[in-house]
A and B are shown apart, each in its own frame.
Chain A
Amino acid sequence: MKGMLLKDILNIRGQIAYYAVIIAVFFAVAAVTGNLYFYAGISCFCGVAVPLSAVAYDEKDNWERFALAAGVTRGRLALSRYLLGLASFFPVWGLSFLLFVLPSFRTAENLLAVLTFGGMGLLVMSVVLPLVFKMGTEKARAVYIVVILAVMLCSAGLASFFGLAEGAVPVVAAVLLAAGIVSVPISFAVSCSVYRKKDF
């Protein structure tokens, strides 16, 4: 597993730097404008963007073929993608909490928004990764773009909803966070099944 993750990091080090710059810009904009949604929204995509880049490199290099021939099991192949996704998502999402250092961010609404985006980030990853494994990165990118648009719409709706229906906000945040957490093992099981049936 360590070898798989090291290979991914070395392969996508250029992209990691690129994502880091984007994340820093979004973080700064959120901090300056006082709009947490700006940053929390972008964190949703890290759980997919990073493994998607890694899978694209692996497809080009026929790496999965090599890894399986080397004794890596199909399950561990899938697991390495999820670990990379989670290892990318959690630190970026976790940085949202850093915004709470600023007094203007310390509201219950903001906290619930961060928790909601945490759930959404896990949900996005859970939906997109099995599709990437099934369809390949080229076809799955189209699905990913649709998911991005859907999340953006949800974010806009969420911001309005949080403003209008204060009483329901904690429930929505809890449901989305729980759904996100539950979706990851289900998605992993689906991905393992996709990998089991796949010919390399």
Chain B
Amino acid sequence: MQDNVRIRALSKRFGDFLLDDVSFDVPAGSVVGFIGENGAGKSTTIKSILGLVNTDGGRIEVFGKDARLLTEEDKGDIGAVLGEHCLPQDLTLREVNAVMRRIFRGWQEGEFFSFVKRFALPENKKLRSFSGGMRQKAALSAALSHGARLLLLDEPTAGLDPVARDEILDVLYDFMQDECRSVLLSSHILSDLEKLCDHIVFIHGGKIVFAEEKDVLTERYALFRGSAEEVGAFGRGAVAAYMRGDFGMSALVYRDKVPAGTPLDRAGIEDIMLYFVRGERV
């Protein structure tokens, strides 16, 4: 399968923060969830793909082409939502349409207004009067209205109520009906990512912890709750990380390395992330 984005050994220093040796792919036909704490490097990585920051090292390819050499036409194939405020707040959606028509060669006015209608957004009110959710929907409408094959979404569901989040996820499901397309989606709401994503990339302190298919992750890891002795008995190779509690110990373990018949709980993406960030390593 062709990769719509390929990142290799990306590095970027911002003062004390270092984005270090970041490598992962966004294959065509897949939704990649990009997870990590605040300040882990998600936004910097997304900005690097879009050429918004000058990277210090590494290589980024988009549609098989060096990201630095992307033309205006190539960029038109990328839809981006970079937070709540990325459209002019003093314009109405009709005015945003008039501006975008002159910026994107492939601007699809009908598509834009169909999204506006679908999200029940007012066309003649200034964006600054919109709620956070409405602004996110407006930004997504714009990102989806110029024939993009790749969506880069930085926290598109942040601060939204479950209904609004569900509406946005529905739109992304529809977008992914074409197998040439991809989405790279950063979010703190891991339940959204579990619903939508095929791959998960986890970044922590500027470094990639893992970049895996979601199903592989949930098959690989499980949660074990028991005593410290029981966890110790699994051996070093079976425990990825553990946490001590008042009533014993819980551990993120490798399913295939613990004895058959051991009572295990399913480890969700949130569990896996928490154990990698807050758990103690063996």
Q: Which residues of A contact B (CB under 8 A)?
A: 2-4, 6-7, 10-11, 57, 60-63, 65-73, 196-197, 199-200
Chain B interface helix/strand/loop/mixed: mixed
- The residues in B between 55 and 114 inclusive whose CB is less than 8 angstroms from any CB of A are 70-76, 78, 80, 82-83, 85-91, 95, 98-104
- Residues of chain B within 8 A of A4, CB atoms compared: 103
Q: CA A6 – CA B90 in complex, angstroms?
A: 13
Q: Are B104 and A65 in contact (CB under 8 A)?
A: no
- Residues of chain B within 8 A of A200, CB atoms compared: 47, 52-53
- Considering the complex, give the chain A residue whose CB is closest to the CB of B102: A3
Q: For chain B, which range describes its interface: under 10, 10 to 19, 20 to 34, or 35 or more residues?
A: 20 to 34
A to B contact number (C-beta, < 8 Å): 85
Q: Which residues of B contact A (CB under 8 A)?
A: 14, 47, 50-54, 70-76, 78, 80, 82-83, 85-91, 95, 98-104, 152
- Residues of chain A within 8 A of B80, CB atoms compared: 66, 69-70
Q: CA A7 – CA B90 in complex, angstroms?
A: 10
What are 12 A-B contacts defined by CB distance under 8 Å? A4-B103, A6-B98, A11-B88, A62-B83, A68-B51, A69-B78, A69-B82, A69-B152, A71-B73, A72-B103, A196-B54, A199-B52
The residue that A62 contacts in the complex, of B86, B101, B102, with Cβ under 8 A, is B86
Q: Are A61 and B52 in contact (CB under 8 A)?
A: no
Nearest-Cβ distance from residue A123 to partner chain B, whole angstroms: 30
Interface pairs A-B: 5 shortest CB-CB? A71-B75, A3-B102, A71-B72, A3-B103, A199-B53
Check A61/B50 contact, CB under 8 A, given A3-B103, A66-B82, A71-B73. Answer: no
Chain A interface helix/strand/loop/mixed: helix
Q: Are B87 and A71 in contact (CB under 8 A)?
A: no
Q: CA A61 – CA B139 in complex, angstroms?
A: 12
- Considering the complex, give the chain A residue whose CB is closest to the CB of B86: A66
A sample of 5 more A-B contacts (CB under 8 A), given A68-B51, A197-B54, is: A6-B98, A6-B99, A11-B90, A69-B52, A71-B75
Q: Are A62 and B51 in contact (CB under 8 A)?
A: no
- Residues of chain A within 8 A of B14, CB atoms compared: 199
The residue that A69 contacts in the complex, of B50, B88, B89, B95, with Cβ under 8 A, is B50
Nearest-Cβ distance from residue A103 to partner chain B, whole angstroms: 45
The residue that B102 contacts in the complex, of A2, A71, A197, A199, with Cβ under 8 A, is A2
A57, A67, A199, most chain B CB atoms within 10 A: A199
Nearest-Cβ distance from residue B140 to partner chain A, whole angstroms: 13
- Considering the complex, give the chain A residue whose CB is closest to the CB of B89: A61
A4, A7, A11, A69, most chain B CB atoms within 10 A: A69
Q: Are A62 and B82 in contact (CB under 8 A)?
A: yes
The residue that B87 contacts in the complex, of A61, A196, A199, with Cβ under 8 A, is A61
Nearest-Cβ distance from residue A101 to partner chain B, whole angstroms: 37
Q: Are B91 and A10 in contact (CB under 8 A)?
A: yes
Nearest-Cβ distance from residue B98 to partner chain A, whole angstroms: 6
- Residues of chain A within 8 A of B95, CB atoms compared: 10
Q: Are A3 and B100 in contact (CB under 8 A)?
A: yes
Q: Are B74 and A6 in contact (CB under 8 A)?
A: no
Q: Are A10 and B88 in contact (CB under 8 A)?
A: yes
- Considering the complex, give the chain B residue whose CB is closest to the CB of A196: B54
Q: Are B75 and A11 in contact (CB under 8 A)?
A: no
Q: CA A71 – CA B106 in complex, angstroms?
A: 12
Q: CA A3 – CA B90 in complex, angstroms?
A: 15
The residue that A60 contacts in the complex, of B51, B54, B85, with Cβ under 8 A, is B85
- Considering the complex, give the chain A residue whose CB is closest to the CB of B12: A199
Q: Are A66 and B101 in contact (CB under 8 A)?
A: no
Q: Are A7 and B71 in contact (CB under 8 A)?
A: no
Q: CA A50 – CA B16 in complex, angstroms?
A: 37
